[in-house]
A and B are shown apart, each in its own frame.
Chain A
Amino acid sequence: MSRPRKDPRAERAAQRVAGATRPRFDLARTPETATSGRPRRDPRAEERLALVPGTLRRRLDRTRRAGEAAIPAPQPLATPAPDAPALRRIPEPAFLVALVPDAPGGRLTPHDRQLFGAARLLADAGGGAVVALVDPAADDLAAAGADRVLTLPVSGYDPEGKALALDAALAALGLRHLLFPESAEGGDLARRVAALSGEALFAGAESLTAKAVTRAAHGRRTEQRGAPPTLISLAPDAVAPHAGTLHEALPVAFAFPATTGGAILAAEFVAADPARVSLAEADFVTSAGNGVSDFETFRALIAALGATPGASRMVCDAGLMPRAAQVGASGTVLDARCYFALGIAGAPQHLQGVAKCEHVVAVNTDLHAAMIERAGLAIVADAQEVMPALLRLIAEEASA
C-alpha cells in the first residue's frame, strides 16, 4: 500500500559533482539511495481496501472492522502481562467489619461488590478484617475482598430466621460495623436486624468514608452526616468496588442459636412474565425499528425468545407498536441486561434509552448505523431474513 517516499533534496545532493568551484550537478547520474525512509501513503490502495463489497452505493469502511483479516495489522508493542493481584493476609484483625451481600443464586451483584468496597474502606482504615455473612456460599469472595466467610444457617425464604442469626452474630462476634445493600432484600434484612438489636440504622448511605457517612432525609431536602454507626445500608453506586488485592476468604465457624419456624408458611418464586413486565423493569428487551416490516414474525420471535417487546419512535409513531413500548429519551430508559435491536438506526435519542444495557445485539442492513457501532454482536443482514431463521433455529432446538 505504501512505497518509499522521495526526498528531492537528498537526490539533488547525490547528483552534485564534487571538487568544482561552482556547484555542478550530473543529472544523468541516478542516485543509489535517496529515500527519506518514511513510507509514502497510497490513498487509492487504502480506499480499495476500505471499499465495502456488495452494496449498491459506493461505501467505505474506514474503521476497517470488516476487512481486518485482509490488511496485516501493525505489530502491537509487546505489553507486559498484568501480574496477578497480590494476596493480603490479615491474621490478627484489630476489629471486624461484616457485610451481608444479596448474592442471588450465589452470584455477587455489582451492588454487592460496591458493598465489599465500602467494607474494605472501613476495615483498612484501622487494620480490621472484612467478614462476609453469606447463605449459600457465593463465588469469588476472595477477589471481592473478604478476609473471613461465615455461612448463615438459613434455608429457603426466611428473612426472620436470617435476621435472628445476624443479630446473634452481631452480639457475639463484636462486629464494629454491619453493612447491607439498600436493595429490596438487603434493605428488608437491615431493618429487621435494626429492630431486633435496637441499634439505629443508617439507611441508604450515599457517601461513605472511614470518618463520615451521609444520607438524604426529609424528602431529600436535608443531608444527615455522622461517624459511621454499627448498622449501615448502602445506596447503589455510592462506593467503588474493591480491586487490586486478593483476600483469604477463610471460613469461620460460629454456633448459631437454633431458630423456630416463623410466620411464613410457604414461599413460591414466580418468575417475571416478560410479556407483562414493564419496560423499565425488564431484563431482556427485543426492539423493532423502521427496518422491520414483518411484525407477525417479530411478535412470534418475542414470544419464542421470552423477551419484553420494545420499539423505536418511528415504529410507535406509525402505530405499529404501542407507545408504552418506545425505548429512548422520550420513551423508557431501560435497565435491561441485554438489548436486541432489529432494524434500528441508533439515533442519539434512542441510544440514550439503551445506555445502561450491558449487552447489545443489533441486526441492520447498514454497516454504518450507530446501533452497529454500539453493539457487542453486530450483524449486517436483513432483519426480515434473520427473524424467520431465528424462529426456525429455536423450534429446531426445542424439538431436538
Chain B
Amino acid sequence: MAIVETRKLTKVFKQGQPGAVNHVDLETREGEFLVFLGPSGSGKTTLLRMIAGLETPTSGEILIGGNVVNHLPPRERRIAMVFQSYALYPHLTVYQNIVFPLKAQKVKKELHKQKVEWASALLGIGRLLDRKPRELSGGERQRVALARAIVREPSVFLLDEPLSNLDAKLRASAREELEQFQKRVGTTTIYVTHDQVEAMAMGDRVVVLNQGTVRQIGTPQEVYDQPADTFVATFLGSPPMNLLETDDLIVGFRPERFLPSGLVAGSGSTDEIASRMKTEHLLLADVGKRVPLRFRVEYIEYLGAERILYGALEGGRFPGKAVASRIPSGVTERYEANSVHDFIVPESELKFFDRASEKRVAPKAIPWQ
C-alpha cells in the first residue's frame, strides 16, 4: 500500500510546443480508487506513464510511499500496470504470463505456483492457464492482465483504459467486478479513462484533466454537482450542462433540472401533477424559487428510460439559445417537434461561471427577462 503524489509534474514532448502534462499536483489517499478522466489527448496516459517510470518527466517530482522516485526505473517502483492493449506476452501461456513478474523479480521458485494459483483463482481464470493469449476472448485477456498485475502484490495499481476494448455489455460487468476486486485487495489504484460513466461509477475521487492540466479533483458527486469550471461542467453529463452567456457571466443548468413547469410542485395541485406521471421518480418536493423559460422543442431522442428534448429558448433574455432537457420516462406528456412549452429551472440549480476565466463563481441574481 502506498500513496502516490505528484508535484508540479510536467512533460513537454517537443520543445516550444504546449506540454502534454502541465504542472500537475495531486495526491492519492491510502487504498483509494482514483480516476483520471479527460478527453482523448488530455495527457492521462502520459501522466500515468510518468508515474510508472516509462516516461521521464520534463520537470516536477513523483513520490510513491513518501519517497521521490524520479530516478528509479519502473521495476523498482513496486507498481503494477495494466495497459490498454493488455500487453500479454504472445509467445507465453497464461501461466507463464502470470508468473513472468515473479521470475523477473526473482521471487523464490517454491512460491511461484501457489501465487499464480491464488491470482488466477481470484480472477476466475484457473482453467485457462495452458492457453496462449491469442486463444482468449477480450474479457479473458483483461483478466489475465489483471492477474499478472496482482500476482506480485504491488503497492500501487496503474490501469490505462483497461475496459475500452470490451463490448458494452461486458464492460458494465467488468467495471463492477474490477471495483469489487479493488475493494477486496485494497491496493491504491489509479485508473485512466475517457468514459465519464466509468469514472463516476468506480472512482472514490475523480481527477478531471484537459490539455494536460488538472481542472478539478473531487468525488464523483462533487465534480458533477459542483463543477469547478465550464470544461468540467460540459465534459460530465450527457447531454452536457446547458450554458447561457451573459455579460461577464455564464449561467449553467443540467438538462435533468430543466423541466416542464407543470411537473414541478407548487405549479399546480399535487393531484394534477401526480395524474400526469406514471411513477413517482420525478422531483415533487417544493424547489423554492423557479426561473420560467419558454422552450421550443426541435427534436426528440427517445432513450427508453428517458427522453431528451433538444431545442432553443424563446423570448426572454436568451432567445434562440440551444438547450436540452432530460425527461424521465415516468412523464407521459407528449412533445412534438416545433411545439413551444413552459419550462422552469429551480434557481438553486443554477451554476454561475466567470466568462473570462470560465471558473465557477458565487451565485448572482440576473434579470431573466
Chain B binds chain A: no
Task: Tell me the B residues contacting A by CB distance below 8 Å.
Answer: none
